[in-house]
Structure 1
Amino acid sequence: MLSRTLLCLVVMCLAAPVFADTVWLKNGDRLSGKIKVFDGGKLLIQTEYAGAVPIDWKQVKTLESDQELLVKQDAWTGEKAKSLQAAEDGSVTLVNGEAPKTVALASIQQLIKPKPLVEDMVWKGNVDVAMDYKRADKDTDDYDLDFKTTARHGAWRHHAEGEYNREFQNDVVTTDNWTAEYALDYFISDKWYWQGRLTYNRDRVEDISRQRTVGTGPGYQFWDDELGAFSLGSLLNRTDYEYSDGKKDNFYSLAMKWDYNRYLMGKTVSFFTNGELGKSLEGESDYSLDSEIGLRYKVTEWASLNLKAEKDLIGSSSGSDNALNKTRYTVGFGVVW
């Protein structure tokens, strides 16, 4: 009898959910699951019956959670709550031992799981790999690897991205280049930020063999939540070119950057585009375009398939021969987080 009782208890523990979070909505509905994150005006709750469900924060009446969560009421400071308890409409109670505190939902800007080192760190990114093999009159092997990641804590946001392309035709290298970029944003307000950026390009085939760009300027974040993000930025840049024949050139330019991604079908298919359009402030009116557009399909929570088109353009109104005009299409797989 004792062994049967213990077996039943084990089965019940395994069958029970790890967390039983509940969200009450203003229209009378109630959702149960596990709260993943609240950021950018959207609360994401993981349910067993509908997967990840995003909820407009303005529609939440109250909520409760058995998780330890970091509750931020501004961009710089946060309070770690051992659990959340439902309260009267428009508020929630933070449980911290003997001194529970009730706060208005409207005052909360972020709910996240505390991280080990930087508690309010929110990290997102993806790594994509594409390979193409063609056997015909010209045998072609094409490899493409790129990554993009952002990490935000408090008023700071870090960007890092890179790409490597290599192509062979009949064992002759026809494309061999890589790019690395780092940018740091400081949010002056909820939407406005100031960015500093450093980019380095290396190409062993094209006329422009090296390109270094340092820039700074303001930007505006329209939204950034679990369903996507959209930002526009303007930069004052200094760009240094080094050509394959040894010549060097540099100029100052103004540039506009954009970064847009949005889920189209729940959280399965997403559309994304990003890039930079720049124009020289020098007399020759050099201009450049570096852009990307594509679709990403999530096969699992972490694996994805992607279809991308990339456009690289460097030109001059003076008709200089040192120009670049290249378009690439890739299909590949990747990892998202």
Structure 2
Amino acid sequence: MARTIIVASFAAIMLMCFAVQKVEADEIILNNGNHLIGTITALSGEYFTLTSDYAEPIKIKKGSISKIFTENPVELHLASGEIIKGKIRTGDDGRIIVEEGNGRITSGIDLKSVTAVNPPPSEKWHGNVNLSGNLQTGNTDRSGLSFGADAMRRGDQDRFSMRFLYNIANENHTMTTRNIFGALQYDYFFTKKFYGYLAVELLNDTFKNLDLRAVVGPGAGYQVWDDPIKALSLEAGIAYFSENYKVQEDKSWLTIRLAANYRYKLTDWLVFTDRLVLYPSLKSMSDFSLRNEAALLTAIGSGWSMKLADILDYSNNPPAGTKSTDSLLTIGLQYGF
């Protein structure tokens, strides 16, 4: 009986030890030799997130990591646009090795080239709404208000985006500015970088006597970068450009469309963005229009940011009685979702 109890106890202890050994956990070894155990749940910017049952989630700077191991497969997004899924470990040369399963192994990955780990599902809308204004009193009474919204949905092979901007201003109790701008674009990715697009841009401007400017056309684009730190896309295509005026003869023509969309995260709390669209006429390259939207965003927490923006609208052949350049500088609040 005693022997049976001893054997049973020994077996129970062995089972407990085996169970402890089989607890799945990821491991990060820092440059200073410290070992961190938990589950790697994300990589955002330069920081990995490690969660555990014994502490709050820990953010670990990518550059401070010497070695990394995962027990469960993770999804790695690389700066090249490639996506790899599998268990990861650090090789003898300090580079990442991914065990993808079925005997497949990808090796030689630099940790610096990893831009995201287990990112949230991309098939969701995200974007922002913003409200800006200005007020001046004294010798001149001037006030202005701008409202805008951006939204985007990115899938595995396509991307849909829309933008809206409304501006109004008064000076000495007389309206001096009122315009509405809207844009829609659909992108289909043939590869991780190369895509085709169809874009529509609309503008109504009361003080340019412009009932409607419509620009519609297809083209191709190349996504140079797209990660949490930076993004850059370049586009070129053909577009139908038409302008309907209140008192002048309407005009329409074919044009080239050249565009660039840029974003760069300068610090954890400061982001610069710029959208440039150029329309040179097919008849004469010196006859062109452009629109540039530049902004500087300062994060203030909980999705809110201060936004300083400048919108430049230029035409070298404006309607009679109007100037070539319109520039609007605004400061206000933006909420991201």
Q: Any idea what the Cα deviations from partners look like across 1:294-313, whole Å, max 9, x if unmatched?
A: 31111114111121221101
1:38-49 mapped onto 2 (5 Å cutoff)? 44-46=47-49
- Taking structure 1 as reference, are residues 77 and 230 closer, same or farther at Cα in structure 2, changes over 3 Å only? closer
Q: How far did 1:228 drift?
A: 2.1
Q: Normalization by structure 1: what TM-score?
A: 0.72
Q: How far did 1:88 drift?
A: 6.5
Question: Is the 1:271–1:294 Cα contact (8 Å) retained in structure 2?
Answer: yes
Question: Is the 1:206–1:244 Cα contact (8 Å) retained in structure 2?
Answer: no
The alignment partner of 2:207 has SS state of coil
Q: Any idea what the Cα deviations from partners look like across 1:198-236, whole Å, max 9, x if unmatched?
A: 111112222222111101111111110011201111121
- Taking structure 1 as reference, are residues 21 and 144 closer, same or farther at Cα in structure 2, changes over 3 Å only? farther
Residue 36 of structure 1: which of 37, 42, 53 is its match? 42
Question: Is the 2:115–2:228 Cα contact (8 Å) retained in structure 1?
Answer: no
The alignment partner of 1:205 has SS state of helix
Question: Is the 2:235–2:260 Cα contact (8 Å) retained in structure 1?
Answer: yes
Asked if 1:332 corresponds to 2:332, the answer is: yes
Q: How far did 1:105 drift?
A: 7.2
* CA distance in structure 2 between the aligned counterparts of 1:147 and 1:286, rounded to whole angstroms: 31
Question: Is the 1:254–1:279 Cα contact (8 Å) retained in structure 2?
Answer: yes
Question: Is the 2:47–2:59 Cα contact (8 Å) retained in structure 1?
Answer: no
The alignment partner of 1:299 has SS state of strand
Partner of 2:5: none
Q: How far did 1:333 drift?
A: 1.3
Partner of 2:17: none
Partner of 1:304: 305
Question: Is the 1:146–1:161 Cα contact (8 Å) retained in structure 2?
Answer: yes
Partner of 2:280: 279
Code of the aligned partner of 1:36: A
Q: How far did 1:148 drift?
A: 2.3
Asked if 1:254 corresponds to 2:256, the answer is: yes
Partner of 1:166: 168
The alignment partner of 2:139 has SS state of coil
Partner of 1:4: none
Question: Is the 1:64–1:92 Cα contact (8 Å) retained in structure 2?
Answer: no
Q: Normalization by structure 2: what TM-score?
A: 0.72
* CA distance in structure 2 between the aligned counterparts of 1:310 and 1:226, rounded to whole angstroms: 25
- Taking structure 1 as reference, are residues 65 and 198 closer, same or farther at Cα in structure 2, changes over 3 Å only? farther
Question: Is the 1:223–1:229 Cα contact (8 Å) retained in structure 2?
Answer: yes
Unaligned runs of 5+ in 2: 1-24, 51-55
Question: Is the 1:181–1:200 Cα contact (8 Å) retained in structure 2?
Answer: yes
Q: How far did 1:328 drift?
A: 1.3
Question: Is the 1:228–1:263 Cα contact (8 Å) retained in structure 2?
Answer: yes
The alignment partner of 2:301 has SS state of coil
Question: Is the 1:76–1:155 Cα contact (8 Å) retained in structure 2?
Answer: no
Unaligned runs of 5+ in 1: 1-19
Code of the aligned partner of 1:169: E
Residue 231 of structure 1: which of 228, 233, 253 is its match? 233
Partner of 2:294: 293
Partner of 1:198: 200
1:1-337 mapped onto 2 (5 Å cutoff)? 23=28, 35-36=41-42, 44-46=47-49, 53=61, 62-64=68-70, 89=91, 90-91=96-97, 104=106, 111-112=117-118, 115=121, 120-121=122-123, 123-245=125-247, 247-265=249-267, 267-282=268-283, 286-316=287-317, 324-337=324-337
The alignment partner of 1:298 has SS state of strand
* CA distance in structure 2 between the aligned counterparts of 1:112 and 1:334, rounded to whole angstroms: 27
- Taking structure 1 as reference, are residues 139 and 279 closer, same or farther at Cα in structure 2, changes over 3 Å only? same
* CA distance in structure 1 between the aligned counterparts of 2:77 and 2:285, rounded to whole angstroms: 50
* CA distance in structure 1 between the aligned counterparts of 2:63 and 2:216, rounded to whole angstroms: 39
Q: How far did 1:175 drift?
A: 0.8
Code of the aligned partner of 1:308: A
What is the CA RMSD across the aligned residues, in angstroms? 4.0
Question: Is the 2:40–2:70 Cα contact (8 Å) retained in structure 1?
Answer: no
Partner of 1:9: none
Q: Which moved more, 1:121-130 or 1:294-303?
A: 121-130
* CA distance in structure 1 between the aligned counterparts of 2:46 and 2:106, rounded to whole angstroms: 15
Q: How far did 1:174 drift?
A: 1.0
The alignment partner of 1:229 has SS state of strand
Code of the aligned partner of 2:276: G
* CA distance in structure 1 between the aligned counterparts of 2:59 and 2:301, rounded to whole angstroms: 12
